[in-house]
Amino acid sequence: MSKQLHLNAFIMANGHHEAAWRHPDTDPHEALTLKHYAKIAQTAERGKLDSLFLADGVALWGNVKWNSHSRFEPLTLLSALAAVTDRIGLIATASTTYNEPYHLARKFASLDHLSGGRAGWNIVTSAGQDEARNFNRDARPGHELRYERATEFIELTKKLWDSWEDDALRIDKLSGVFADTDKIHTLEHVGTHFQVRGPLNTPRPIQGYPLLVQAGSSETGKEYAARFAEAVFTAQQTFEDGKAFYDDVKARLSRYGRTPEQIKILPGITPIIGRTEEEAREAEALLNSLITPDYGLQQLSNLLDHDLSQYPLDGPLPEVGSHTEGAQSRFDLVTSLARRENLTIRQLIERLAGGRGHRVFAGTPTQVADQIEYWFSGGAADGFNIMPPTLPGGLDDFVDLVVPELQRRGLFRTEYTGTTLREHYGLSRPSNQFTVARSTPAAPVEKENAA
């Protein structure tokens, strides 16, 4: 096949299953060391995966009494991982609600240069209430307001990356000219949310812009993805839902002058792999036996913006309304799952434990590859966001057992053919808007006739 899968490794400290830290094959102490993450990154690169992705939030999520919360600031960690890897992309989550454009533009430009063009930015608007309280707010901003701010944020950040044209650096020792200041631009931006003069104090990133990633699947999130994103991480439980999401987002691109090839849709999947079906089921059962119901109940309550502690675990999910100002698409996914399958609260907690709404699939390497190929060939995905249930072992299993099967089928690369993250995803390097404006002839100005 000429079309190739894209695979991203979504990295959590001990793995994606909420009980991963209790699993006999994980070591939560190791998750506080660079050695732990370096091993994971090198395993993903050995498997020729496109990228690594680190989620993030700016609050202590859940209840640390019952779950591990070893979480490092992503740009710091990925900068360290850039030094122990050569090709794999490095995608960090950063919030448009609790950061400033100049600060983030500089950080991502720095990572892109230091990694040789491997940086990516997962753009989030931060839906949690606890995050707001860490940044001088009593409550999170509303959903629409967060996305309004995000729109101005990303447009301004791209202008900051462009504030140095690609050939602005002269570095002419003989003449003593380091940079062509005619090609370094102030912005004098005054908008609704930001006032920034510019230019950036770092030259334009190697990739032009780091790869832009988005994970919101609400109506506003999908529109935002169509306008800005180049890869979308999404949670879809069924092929039909995945196909509908895929077609919806791709259909929105034309209104922004974009083509379907310019965005990659990557649903999340937590593969629990066994050499036999029985072994896979046993591995899933072991993980689920380690769940602490009180923790899962609190996580579910936070997700649904509804206190569920007063309801029986073995009773149905109560009426929780039809809307949240938090993570709207995940709210819809979870409530639909509960109603569609008539799940009790306890059953819903178990279903969400492996991937927080992402699809969990237990099976043999061939069966996991079958699922990936089915979604990919059926037009429901351009690839997958791989979410190992435990780390590092779950990623080892995927790279050693599933990737060779995908390669055998001609679905996935056997070697890297590019050096930048954009090249891995088959995406072009964006033009510099100031260079384009310089080379575009100005429209003639018509003189008004004298009265």
| Residues above pLDDT 70, as percent of the chain | 93
Domains assigned to the chain = 6-277+358-432 (3.20.20.30)
Q: pLDDT per residue over 235-279, tens digit each?
A: 898 999 999 999 999 999 999 999 999 999 999 999 999 999 999
Look at the block and give the residue holding tokens 């992705």.
53
Model pTM score: 0.89
Instruction: Say what the pLDDT of residue 154 is.
Output: 97
Instruction: Say what the pLDDT of residue 324 is.
Output: 57
Q: Nearest 5°: phi and psi at 337? A: -60, -45
Asked whether the predicted pLDDT for residue 38 surpasses 80, the reply is yes
Asked whether the predicted pLDDT for residue 70 surpasses 70, the reply is no
Instruction: Say what the pLDDT of residue 59 is.
Output: 85
pLDDT tier, 80 (very low <50, low <70, confident <90, very high otherwise): very high
Instruction: Say what the pLDDT of residue 287 is.
Output: 92
DSSP state of 184: B
Instruction: In whole angstroms, give the CA distance from residue 428 to residue 410.
Output: 23
Instruction: In whole angstroms, give the CA distance from residue 159 to residue 166.
Output: 13
Q: pLDDT per residue over 95-107, tens digit each?
A: 999 999 999 999 9
Helix (H, G, I), strand (E, B) or coil at 308: coil
Look at the block and give the residue holding tokens 């057992």.
401
When mean pLDDT is compared across 113-117, 122-126, 353-357, 388-392, the lowest value belongs to 353-357
* Average confidence score pLDDT of the chain: 90
Instruction: In whole angstroms, give the CA distance from residue 205 to residue 203.
Output: 6
Amino acid at the residue 34: L
Instruction: Say what the pLDDT of residue 301 is.
Output: 76
Q: Nearest 5°: phi and psi at 394? A: -65, -35
Q: Nearest 5°: phi and psi at 110? A: -65, -45
Specify whether the CB–CB gap between 398 and 386 falls below 8 A: yes
Q: pLDDT per residue over 157-187, tens digit each?
A: 999 999 999 999 999 999 999 999 999 999 9
**More confident position, 320 or 115:** 115
pLDDT tier, 330 (very low <50, low <70, confident <90, very high otherwise): low
pLDDT tier, 24 (very low <50, low <70, confident <90, very high otherwise): very high
Specify whether the CB–CB gap between 125 and 228 falls below 8 A: no
Instruction: Say what the pLDDT of residue 450 is.
Output: 42
DSSP state of 25: T
Instruction: Say what the pLDDT of residue 445 is.
Output: 56
Q: Average pLDDT, stretch 322-343?
A: 68
Q: Give the residues across from 10 on adjacent strands.
A: 53
When mean pLDDT is compared across 69-73, 86-90, 364-368, 381-385, the lowest value belongs to 69-73
C-alpha dihedral, 170 to 175 to 178 to 179, nearest 10° = -60
Q: Average pLDDT, stretch 400-427?
A: 97
| Sign of the dihedral through C-alpha 375, 376, 379, 384 | positive
89-95 and 51-54: which strand pairing? Answer: parallel
Q: Average pLDDT, stretch 190-206?
A: 97
DSSP state of 344: B
Instruction: In whole angstroms, give the CA distance from residue 183 to residue 162.
Output: 10
Q: Nearest 5°: phi and psi at 132? A: -60, -40
**More confident position, 447 or 32:** 32
Q: Nearest 5°: phi and psi at 344? A: -75, 170
Instruction: Say what the pLDDT of residue 448 is.
Output: 47
**More confident position, 371 or 333:** 371
DSSP state of 319: -
